[in-house]
Amino acid sequence: MSEIPGAEMNERPAPVDLRKKAIPLVAVGLGMAGLAWASVPLYDMFCRVTGFAGTTQVATMGADRVLDRMVTVRFDASTMRGMPWEFRAVEPAVKVHIGETVLAFYEAYNPTDRVVAGTASYNVAPFSAGGYFTKIDCFCFTEQVLQPGERVTMPVTFYVDPDMVDDAETAGVTTITLSYTFFETELDSHVELGQTPIDADFN
Protein backbone atom coordinates (compact mmCIF):
# COMPACT_ATOMS: atom_id res chain seq x y z
CA MET A 1 0.00 0.00 0.00
CA SER A 2 1.49 3.36 -1.04
CA GLU A 3 2.06 6.14 1.45
CA ILE A 4 -0.21 9.16 1.29
CA PRO A 5 1.79 12.33 0.66
CA GLY A 6 1.90 14.60 3.73
CA ALA A 7 0.78 11.83 6.09
CA GLU A 8 3.76 12.54 8.32
CA MET A 9 2.48 16.07 8.91
CA ASN A 10 -0.84 14.82 10.25
CA GLU A 11 0.66 12.54 12.85
CA ARG A 12 -0.03 13.53 16.48
CA PRO A 13 2.97 14.67 18.49
CA ALA A 14 4.33 12.09 20.86
CA PRO A 15 3.34 12.49 24.53
CA VAL A 16 6.89 13.54 25.38
CA ASP A 17 6.57 16.45 22.93
CA LEU A 18 3.35 17.61 24.63
CA ARG A 19 5.06 17.57 28.02
CA LYS A 20 7.96 19.61 26.65
CA LYS A 21 5.52 22.24 25.41
CA ALA A 22 3.39 22.19 28.56
CA ILE A 23 6.24 22.74 31.03
CA PRO A 24 7.17 26.23 29.75
CA LEU A 25 3.49 27.22 29.61
CA VAL A 26 2.92 26.12 33.21
CA ALA A 27 6.07 27.97 34.28
CA VAL A 28 4.85 31.15 32.60
CA GLY A 29 1.43 30.79 34.24
CA LEU A 30 2.97 30.31 37.69
CA GLY A 31 5.26 33.27 37.11
CA MET A 32 2.35 35.51 36.18
CA ALA A 33 0.39 34.36 39.24
CA GLY A 34 3.41 35.12 41.43
CA LEU A 35 3.75 38.60 39.96
CA ALA A 36 0.05 39.28 40.51
CA TRP A 37 0.34 38.19 44.16
CA ALA A 38 3.47 40.29 44.71
CA SER A 39 2.04 43.34 42.95
CA VAL A 40 -0.41 44.07 45.78
CA PRO A 41 2.18 44.67 48.54
CA LEU A 42 4.57 46.30 46.06
CA TYR A 43 1.84 48.69 44.89
CA ASP A 44 0.93 49.45 48.53
CA MET A 45 4.59 50.15 49.35
CA PHE A 46 4.91 52.37 46.28
CA CYS A 47 1.82 54.37 47.28
CA ARG A 48 3.03 54.83 50.84
CA VAL A 49 6.48 56.01 49.77
CA THR A 50 5.34 58.34 47.00
CA GLY A 51 1.88 59.41 48.18
CA PHE A 52 0.49 58.08 44.90
CA ALA A 53 -3.34 58.02 44.71
CA GLY A 54 -3.57 60.14 47.84
CA THR A 55 -1.88 57.65 50.16
CA THR A 56 -0.71 59.42 53.31
CA GLN A 57 2.68 59.19 55.03
CA VAL A 58 3.54 58.00 58.55
CA ALA A 59 6.01 59.50 61.05
CA THR A 60 6.89 59.04 64.72
CA MET A 61 7.24 62.76 65.49
CA GLY A 62 6.17 66.17 64.24
CA ALA A 63 7.74 68.35 61.57
CA ASP A 64 11.01 70.16 62.24
CA ARG A 65 9.53 73.54 61.32
CA VAL A 66 6.19 75.34 61.22
CA LEU A 67 5.38 77.85 58.50
CA ASP A 68 3.29 81.00 58.72
CA ARG A 69 1.29 79.79 55.75
CA MET A 70 -1.96 78.00 56.55
CA VAL A 71 -4.00 75.31 54.83
CA THR A 72 -7.55 74.08 55.39
CA VAL A 73 -7.94 70.39 56.17
CA ARG A 74 -11.41 68.97 55.57
CA PHE A 75 -12.55 65.66 57.10
CA ASP A 76 -14.70 63.18 55.22
CA ALA A 77 -16.28 59.99 56.61
CA SER A 78 -18.15 57.14 54.94
CA THR A 79 -18.85 53.42 55.30
CA MET A 80 -18.81 50.56 52.84
CA ARG A 81 -22.07 48.87 51.91
CA GLY A 82 -23.05 46.42 54.62
CA MET A 83 -21.10 48.19 57.38
CA PRO A 84 -23.74 48.98 60.04
CA TRP A 85 -21.80 51.67 61.90
CA GLU A 86 -22.64 55.35 61.90
CA PHE A 87 -19.39 57.20 61.22
CA ARG A 88 -18.65 60.92 61.05
CA ALA A 89 -16.02 63.59 61.58
CA VAL A 90 -16.49 65.52 64.84
CA GLU A 91 -15.43 68.75 63.10
CA PRO A 92 -15.94 69.18 59.34
CA ALA A 93 -12.71 71.15 58.84
CA VAL A 94 -9.83 72.92 60.56
CA LYS A 95 -7.42 75.60 59.42
CA VAL A 96 -3.82 74.81 60.42
CA HIS A 97 -0.30 76.07 59.92
CA ILE A 98 1.77 73.95 57.57
CA GLY A 99 4.09 71.89 59.77
CA GLU A 100 1.84 72.22 62.84
CA THR A 101 0.97 68.99 64.69
CA VAL A 102 -2.83 68.70 64.79
CA LEU A 103 -5.19 66.43 66.73
CA ALA A 104 -8.58 65.73 65.10
CA PHE A 105 -11.40 63.34 65.97
CA TYR A 106 -13.85 61.04 64.25
CA GLU A 107 -16.83 59.37 65.90
CA ALA A 108 -18.20 55.87 65.34
CA TYR A 109 -21.40 54.35 66.70
CA ASN A 110 -22.57 50.74 66.57
CA PRO A 111 -26.40 50.81 66.59
CA THR A 112 -26.73 47.01 66.32
CA ASP A 113 -27.21 44.36 69.01
CA ARG A 114 -23.97 42.57 68.05
CA VAL A 115 -20.25 43.24 68.31
CA VAL A 116 -18.87 44.70 65.08
CA ALA A 117 -15.22 45.06 64.06
CA GLY A 118 -14.09 47.51 61.42
CA THR A 119 -11.00 48.78 59.63
CA ALA A 120 -10.67 52.14 57.90
CA SER A 121 -9.13 52.74 54.50
CA TYR A 122 -8.02 56.29 53.78
CA ASN A 123 -6.58 58.79 51.34
CA VAL A 124 -6.29 62.52 50.78
CA ALA A 125 -7.32 64.83 47.97
CA PRO A 126 -5.82 66.28 45.94
CA PHE A 127 -3.79 63.11 45.36
CA SER A 128 -0.64 65.19 44.88
CA ALA A 129 -0.78 66.20 48.56
CA GLY A 130 -0.65 62.58 49.74
CA GLY A 131 3.13 62.61 49.90
CA TYR A 132 3.05 65.56 52.31
CA PHE A 133 0.14 64.62 54.58
CA THR A 134 1.81 62.82 57.46
CA LYS A 135 0.14 60.89 60.28
CA ILE A 136 1.82 60.39 63.64
CA ASP A 137 -0.99 58.34 65.17
CA CYS A 138 -4.34 57.18 63.83
CA PHE A 139 -7.26 54.89 64.60
CA CYS A 140 -6.85 53.62 61.05
CA PHE A 141 -3.60 51.87 61.99
CA THR A 142 -5.47 49.13 63.84
CA GLU A 143 -8.79 47.28 63.76
CA GLN A 144 -11.56 48.91 65.81
CA VAL A 145 -14.14 46.86 67.73
CA LEU A 146 -17.43 48.30 69.00
CA GLN A 147 -19.78 46.59 71.41
CA PRO A 148 -23.57 46.74 70.83
CA GLY A 149 -24.73 50.33 71.26
CA GLU A 150 -21.19 51.61 71.84
CA ARG A 151 -20.12 55.06 70.67
CA VAL A 152 -16.43 56.00 70.52
CA THR A 153 -14.32 59.02 69.63
CA MET A 154 -11.25 58.12 67.60
CA PRO A 155 -8.25 60.46 67.25
CA VAL A 156 -5.88 61.12 64.38
CA THR A 157 -2.68 63.13 64.86
CA PHE A 158 -1.11 64.61 61.74
CA TYR A 159 0.78 67.44 60.12
CA VAL A 160 1.23 68.80 56.62
CA ASP A 161 4.89 68.56 55.64
CA PRO A 162 6.44 72.01 54.99
CA ASP A 163 8.22 70.58 51.94
CA MET A 164 4.84 70.76 50.20
CA VAL A 165 5.35 74.46 49.45
CA ASP A 166 8.60 73.71 47.58
CA ASP A 167 6.93 71.26 45.18
CA ALA A 168 5.60 72.93 42.05
CA GLU A 169 2.72 70.45 41.92
CA THR A 170 1.51 71.21 45.46
CA ALA A 171 2.77 74.74 46.13
CA GLY A 172 -0.64 76.20 45.34
CA VAL A 173 -2.71 73.73 47.43
CA THR A 174 -4.87 75.56 49.97
CA THR A 175 -7.32 72.80 50.93
CA ILE A 176 -6.69 69.12 51.68
CA THR A 177 -9.46 66.59 52.27
CA LEU A 178 -8.74 63.63 54.52
CA SER A 179 -11.16 60.78 53.78
CA TYR A 180 -11.83 57.58 55.72
CA THR A 181 -14.08 54.69 54.75
CA PHE A 182 -14.86 52.02 57.33
CA PHE A 183 -15.57 48.44 56.25
CA GLU A 184 -16.56 45.51 58.43
CA THR A 185 -13.89 42.94 59.19
CA GLU A 186 -14.03 39.43 60.58
CA LEU A 187 -14.37 39.44 64.35
CA ASP A 188 -12.05 37.35 66.51
CA SER A 189 -14.13 34.93 68.63
CA HIS A 190 -12.32 35.96 71.84
CA VAL A 191 -13.17 39.61 71.22
CA GLU A 192 -16.80 38.74 70.56
CA LEU A 193 -16.97 36.99 73.95
CA GLY A 194 -15.51 40.01 75.69
CA GLN A 195 -12.13 38.31 76.21
CA THR A 196 -8.69 39.33 75.08
CA PRO A 197 -6.39 36.72 73.55
CA ILE A 198 -4.32 36.87 76.77
CA ASP A 199 -7.42 36.08 78.87
CA ALA A 200 -8.28 33.22 76.57
CA ASP A 201 -4.83 31.65 76.97
CA PHE A 202 -5.25 31.42 80.73
CA ASN A 203 -8.80 30.00 80.63
pLDDT of residue 31: 52
User: How far is residue 115 CA from its own chain's centroid?
Assistant: 23
Contact by Cβ (8 Å): 52, 127:
yes
What pLDDT, on a 0 to 100 scale, did the predictor assign at position 188?
Answer: 72
DSSP designation for 188: P
Q: Which of 158, 201, 155 is nearest to 60 (CA)?
A: 158
> What is the rounded average pLDDT for all residues in the chain?
79
For the segment 170-197, the average pLDDT, to the nearest whole number, is 78
Q: With 60 as the cut, is the pLDDT of residue 53 above it?
A: no
Q: How confident is the model at residue 46 (pLDDT cuts 50, 70, 90)?
A: very low
d(CA 109, CA 115): 11
* The pLDDT value given to residue 16: 53
**Over 60: is that where the pLDDT of 196 sits?**
no
Q: What is the pLDDT of residue 42?
A: 37
